[in-house]
Amino acid sequence: MNIIEKILEPHIVERNTAEGELGIRIDQTLTQDATGTMAYLEFEAVGLDDISTELSVSYVDHNTLQVGFENADDHKYLETVAARYGLYFSKAGNGICHQVHLERFAVPGKTLLGSDSHTPTAGGICSFAVGAGGLDVACALGGEPFYMPVPRVIKITLDGKRPDFVSAKDIILKILGILTTKGNSGYVIEYAGSGIGGLSVPERATIANMGAELGVTTSVFPSDKVTMEFMRAQGREKDFREITADAGAVYEKEIDIDLGGLKPMAALPHSPDNVSEVEKIEGIRVNQVLIGSCTNSSYKDLYTVSRLLKGKKAAPGVSFAVAPGSRQVLEMLSRGGFLSDIISSGARLLESSCGFCIGIGQSPGTDAVSLRTNNRNFLGRSGTMSAGVYLVSPETAVASALTGRITDPSKYFGKGIAFRSPKKFIADDSLVISPPPREERQKVRVVKGPNIGPPPENSPLEKDLKARAAIKVGDKVTTDHIMPAGQYLKYRSNIGKYSEYVFAGLDSGFSGRCADNRSAGFANIIIGGESYGQGSSREHAAICPMFLGVKAVIVKSIERIHRANLINFGIAPLIFDDRADYDRIQPGDHLECAGFAEKITGPGTIELENRTRSEKYLLRKDFSAREAGYLAAGGKLNTLRKKTRD
């Protein structure tokens, strides 16, 4: 067996071979503040009284700025709802969910579902960790299986020895160059090879983290001696379990990478797969360098940063900032005396949170070049449409911060920094609040501020579809384009308000046009290209369009998490059978389908009539019979509410 089979086998509760779907039991869940409020509001709306997981943690890490009352109220809601239902609550300041979960909670061989697309970071410790929408996490909390396509496993063998200054980030950027961000939906990556012995758990986690950018369901490393040492240093050796692939395990695809042949890499604007060797783009002037995020903010990363910065100053024209991934990392740096080298270099020390990675602060100036160690560089995600964001390793970030230009660290520093994983990490969980004993939970008052509203209701699918193409977008449109975060993040618990900003960066008239169409008796349809819905797990990219009366998304292809979120909220993901039809259909076209509701649940394809152009298009349905049921009911929430009532 391969590792994926070994982990999944005891977790499978449903196997739907005909539709290629697997239902698995979830052991652990995590949420963060930006997706968590809606997830728990949904959990409450379903009407369950208790959680069924082994361990669930609610983190506050994305938006900790608290400009206005909204965030503070969200945090209070998350704290009280966690206590009410028996979850752990990780307070603001404790760190980024994926970093903290890796350090303190993730366990080899367990399944983890998180309402954040980078949940697979825990694959670095051999957890089968998957990102999903909040409603799917709410369901897992209530003991429902998590459904996913039967994993098609790719084995990536990392052999050889890395040259100095080739980091984990460079390895995953190399893989992104090979596999790209498109066409990997339904795959899972399993890492193997002699080269992984030289990767610490946090480095493995960096690689697993950016599997999200490939669009794979998750990535998993073996649980071996390195894993054992990491867990022992975290005081968690009792949770260790060795898990490796059997000789002769079978894989669908195999890719071999010789680490010895790699060089420092960068992803150029505006996609993580737009990669180049750093030496080929050397010399570009940089305005900003930011080190942090769930990809590159471990103790190993920031220890290396501090050693490289020792005795040096950042270039005068560069805005340089560092955000440690967790309080553990910050405390280790501080107690070890390494923080002072970072501060002396002129770096601004940021909170242990997501912050800049999601456009909360540190937006670059007009036309600026920003070098970052995070995982996404989509157009506008930084908060500045005209900025160009480059994704690099911490080592390349430091070299460039010092020179003020993109700089290959292997040439600049010459010799690498030796790192020995600490024998003991500072394990202080005092910022994690444990839930009260079960018998006291009923007494907890769940506090909801005025910005927090219930998840919106959707009506069951109407018999016929009469709609307008409300927008037509191109390839690789991400959920950051559909539902921007940054400055609007504080409206995550207020769907009516947040909906005003759907597609805000691409087409500010979208929400108004949807309202006009609805007043004229039309539903709305989104037309998209290849790989629609890449990126985050934010279900708001489905809930808010639902709120605006969107009933279908018609695209050339769609990404896994967004597809599931659309179905959960009653929006049908449909695929052009003839891709050339994408070119024929135009924004504003009047589209109709008689007997739409029946066709959604019935067999076969769907024929859509374009009344504006007198054309007909054939559409394929990208959902199972189970999912068709959710669509007909107007979403999964309606189905579950009914199930709990009955």
109 or 535, CB closer to ligand MIC? 535
Nearest-angstrom CA–CA distance, 108 and 126: 5
Counting contacts by CB under 6 A, is residue 360 touching ligand MIC? no
Interface with ligand SF4, residue 638, by CB under 6 A? no
CB 14 within 8 A of CB 23: yes
Q: For the CB of residue 369, give the shortest distance to ligand MIC in the complex, in Å.
A: 21
Q: Does position 175 bind ligand SF4 by CB under 6 A?
A: no
- Structure tokens, 182: 């498109």
Minimum CB–partner distance for residue 2 and ligand MIC (Å): 27
Taking contact as CB under 6 A, which single stretch among the options 242-250, 353-361, 457-465, 513-521 is the one that binds ligand SF4? 353-361
Question: Of these partners, ligand SF4, ligand MIC, none, which one is at the site of residue 374 (CB under 5 to 8 Å by kind)?
Answer: ligand SF4
Quote the distance between the C-alpha of residue 460 and its chain's center: 29
Number of residues lying near ligand MIC (CB under 6 A): 13
In the window 232-251, what residues touch ligand SF4 (CB under 6 A)? none
Return left, alpha or beta for 108; rule: phi > 0 is left, psi -120 to 50 is alpha, else beta. beta
Residue 547, both tokens: 């709120």
Applying CB under 6 A, the span of 252-260, 432-440, 511-519, 530-538 interacting with ligand MIC comes to 530-538
Pick between residue 117 and residue 410 the one whose CB is nearest to ligand MIC. Answer: 117
Among 472, 538, 551, 636, binds ligand MIC (CB under 6 A): 538
* C-beta closer to ligand MIC: residue 493 or 610: 493
Question: Applying CB under 6 A, which part among 132-140, 350-358, 500-508, 586-594 lies near ligand SF4?
Answer: 350-358
User: Residue 168 phi/psi, 5° resolution?
Assistant: -55, -40
Which residues fall within 8 angstroms of residue 559, CB to CB, at 6 or more apart?
A: 185, 215, 531, 532, 533, 534, 535
What element of type H or E holds 560? helix 560-568
Letter string b/e over residues 226-263, b meaning 16 or more CB atoms within 10 A of that residue's CB: bbbbbbebbebeeebeebebeeebebeeeeebebeebb
d(CA 482, CA 485): 10
Q: For the chain, how big is the Rg over CA atoms in Å?
A: 24
* Burial degree of 386 (CB within 10 A; 0-12, 13-18, 19+): exposed
Helix, strand, or coil (residue 563): helix
User: Do β-strands 21-24 and 12-16 pair in parallel, antiparallel, or remain unpaired?
Assistant: antiparallel
Q: Whole-angstrom Cα distance, residue 205 to residue 96?
A: 13
Query: By C-beta, is 333 or 357 nearer to ligand SF4?
Result: 357
Give the interface size with ligand SF4 as a residue count (CB under 6 A).
Answer: 11
Which partner, ligand SF4, ligand MIC, none, binds residue 56 by CB below 5 to 8 Å per kind? none
Rule CB under 6 A: say whether 297 interacts with ligand MIC: no
How are the residues of the chain apportioned to helix, strand and coil, as percentages rounded to the nearest 5? 35, 20, 45
Among the listed residues 358, 392, 600, 637, the single contact to ligand SF4 using CB under 6 A: 358
354 is a contact residue toward ligand SF4 (CB under 6 A): yes
Please, are residues 135 and 146 in contact by the beta-carbon 8 Å criterion? no
Rounded CA-CA distance 347/318 in Å is 10
Which residue among 118, 174, 372, 621 contacts ligand MIC (CB under 6 A)? Answer: 118
- Binding mask 62-101 vs ligand MIC (x if CB under 6 A, - otherwise)? x---------------------------------------
For ligand MIC, the closer CB: 538 or 551: 538
Q: Which of 26, 48, 83, 96 binds ligand SF4 (CB under 6 A)?
A: 96
Pattern of binders to ligand SF4 over 38-77, x per CB under 6 A? ------------------------x---------------
Q: What DSSP string describes 230-277? A: HHHHTT-GGG---B-PPTT---SEEEEEEGGG---EEEPTT-TT-EEE
Return the residue of 362, 536, 557, 568 that touches ligand MIC, per CB under 6 A: 536
Separation CA 551–CA 570 (nearest Å): 7
Distances from the Cα of 458 to the Cα of 308, 467, 540, 579, angstroms: 55, 17, 14, 30
Per-residue mark of binding to ligand MIC, 6-45 (x: CB under 6 A): ----------------------------xx----------
Q: Out of 73, 74, 103, 116, point to the residue binding ligand MIC (CB under 6 A).
A: 116
96 binds, among ligand SF4, ligand MIC, none (CB under 5 to 8 A by kind): ligand SF4
Exposed, middle or buried, 443 (CB in 10 Å: 0-12/13-18/19+)?
exposed
| Number of helical H runs and strand E runs in the chain | 25, 27
532: part of which helix (H) or strand (E)? none
538 binds, among ligand SF4, ligand MIC, none (CB under 5 to 8 A by kind): ligand MIC
Does 294 bind ligand SF4 (CB under 6 A)? Our answer is yes
56 vs 26: CA distance, rounded Å: 10
Question: Which two three-digit tokens encode residue 382?
Answer: 């930084």
CA–CA separation, 560 and 146 (whole Å)? 13
CB of 98 to ligand SF4, least distance (A): 6
Evaluate whether 118 touches 99 at the Cβ level (below 8 Å). no
- Say which amino acid occupies 150: V
Residues 372-431 that bind ligand SF4 (CB under 6 A): 374-375
Per DSSP, the three-state class of 595 is: coil
**Which residue, 140 or 358, is less far from ligand SF4 as judged by CB?**
358
Site for ligand MIC contains 524 (CB under 6 A): no
Stretch that binds ligand MIC, among 8-16, 110-118, 235-243, 638-646 (CB under 6 A): 110-118
- Chosen from ligand MIC, ligand SF4, none, partner binding at 275 (C-beta under 5 to 8 Å by type): none
In degrees, to the nearest 5, what angle opens at C-alpha 513 toward C-alphas 512 and 518?
100
Cα 158 from Cα 193, distance rounded (Å): 5
Contact status, residue 533 vs residue 482, Cβ threshold 8 Å:
yes
The pattern of x and - marking residues 463 through 502 that bind ligand MIC according to CB under 6 A reads ----------------------x-----------------
The stretch among 142-150, 246-254, 535-543, 630-638 that binds ligand MIC (CB under 6 A) is: 535-543
Q: Pick the binder of ligand MIC from 537, 557, 565, 568 (CB under 6 A).
A: 537
Tokens 């399944």 -> residue: 111
For residue 293, the partner it binds in ligand MIC, ligand SF4, none, with Cβ less than 5 to 8 A by kind, is: ligand SF4
Positions in the binding site for ligand SF4 (CB under 6 A): 62, 96, 116, 118, 293-294, 354, 357-358, 374-375
Positions in the binding site for ligand MIC (CB under 6 A): 34-35, 62, 116-118, 131, 358, 485, 535-538
